[in-house]
Copies of this chain bind each other. A is one copy, B any other.
Amino acid sequence: MDLQDKLNQKGLRLTKPRQVVMTILERATVPLSPQAIHQHAIENQADIGLVSVYRTLELLTTMGLVRRVHGQDSCEGYVLASPGHHHHLVCRTCDRAVEFTGTDNLIPLLEQLQHETGFTVDEHLLQLYGLCPDCQN
C-alpha cells in the first residue's frame, strides 16, 4: 500500500507538497529541519510553502512515516521511519543517521524500574551518538 492509498483511506489527499517532502526525506542521509526541507524543495524547482512543510511533517509523523530525531543539544530534525520499532545512531560530526532495530536489551531495565519506582513504562526514546566511519580520521 503506497502513500496515495494510505492517505485516501483516511479521506486525505496526495498533494504536491506531501510528495515533495516525502521524496526529500527518502533521499536524505541526515535529519532535516523544516527549513532545510523547504530549501531542498526550492533547489529542486518544487515551489511549495514552508507552512506546508510544517503541516506535512506533523501529518507524516502522526502517520508514523516520519520520526523526529533529537540532537544532543538542540532538536535536530526529521527522518524517514521504517515501520516497526527502531532507533537512530547519529554521527556527531556529519549528522549522518542510521536506523537500527529495537532490541529487547532494555526489557530487564524496564522491569526493574517499574518495580522500583511504581511507574508504568510504555515508551522510550533511545538515540546513540558517535562517529561514522568517514568521520573517524
Contact = CB atoms under 8 A, between A and B. Distances in A.
Interface of A: 68, 70, 72-75, 89, 91-92, 98, 100, 103, 105-106, 108-110, 113-114, 116-133, 136
Number of copies: 2
A103 B98 contact: no
Contacts of A130: 114, 119-123
Contacts of A74: 75
A98 B119 contact: yes
Contacts of A91: 119
Contact of A117 (B68, B98, B108): B98
Contacts of A68: 73
Name the residue in A70, A109, A127, A133 with the highest tally of chain B Cβ atoms < 10 Å from its Cβ: A109
